Amino acid sequence: MNLIKTLCATSALTFLAACGGGGGSDGGSIGIPPAPVPPVTMTITHKVTMTTSKGVIELGLDAKNAPLTVANFLKYVNDGFYKNTVFHRVESNFVVQGGGVVRSNGSLVEKPPTYSPIALESNNGLSNLNGTIAMARTVVANSATSQFYFNVKDNTELNYPGPDKVGGYAVFGKITAGLDVLNAIRTVPVNGTVPVQDVLITEVKEVK
């Protein structure tokens, strides 16, 4: 199984969708070293609170094992980029995705990212387990910008597939409080995978 952002046939949104395949191209510029074995233990180096219309989620981020990904995410956080974005994709037994879609004139539209894509850090030894946060991307490995997803179950098939392949999805933190809020979001009514009623992110801030 693979997670990619694909163009929705009925709107201008990009979605992270479950598909077959090996994870796409690395863009030909950055080599992907072997995955750490055994998996590493997450080290919390930064803390973030995410206020949503369903409650507050507290996050611990791991800049030791995902330095580029955490630095990128914190730039968007500290810029206020995520304010009034929505969780545009909810699959109750897979992922909850947000970080790049807003409601505008009654429609959901993609919010253009403000920074260049980052190198994929899926080979950092961190696993796509329930309650972790990871980066969404296109079929190109080094394409993640602002969009992220929460794993709502153990999705280890999304981990780095090994040195003979390019792909996987970069975990960079986990929920440290507010897992009940994530569970409330993942069970909202949906039309396809889009919540019937918007689930807003009203504020994301770094705890210093």
10 vs 16: which has the higher pLDDT: 16
What architecture is domain 2-17+42-207?
Answer: Beta Barrel (2.40)
Other C-beta atoms within 10 Å of 38: how many?
Answer: 7
Q: If you average pLDDT over residues 44-62, what whole number do you get?
A: 98
Rounded to two decimals, the pTM is 0.85
Q: What is the DSSP string of 48-85?
A: EEEEETTEEEEEEE-TTT-HHHHHHHHHHHHHTTTTTE
Residue 35 has what pLDDT?
Answer: 56
Other C-beta atoms closer than 10 Å to the C-beta of 198 total 17
What residue spans define the domains of the chain? 2-17+42-207
Q: What is the mean pLDDT of residues 41-70?
A: 98
Give residue 35's identity as a one-letter amino acid code: A
175, 113, 124: which is closest to 147 by C-alpha?
113
Give the chain's end-to-end CA distance (angstroms, integer).
37
pLDDT at 23: 38
pLDDT in tens, 129-175: 999 999 999 999 999 999 999 999 999 999 999 887 779 999 999 99
51's CB contacts (< 8 A; 6+ apart) are: 201, 202, 203, 204
Model pLDDT for residues 70-111, shown as the tens digit of each residue: 999 999 999 999 999 999 999 999 999 999 999 999 999 999
Ranking 12-16, 47-51, 139-143 by mean pLDDT, the lowest is 12-16
Rounded mean pLDDT, 179-202: 98
| The pLDDT value given to residue 39 | 83
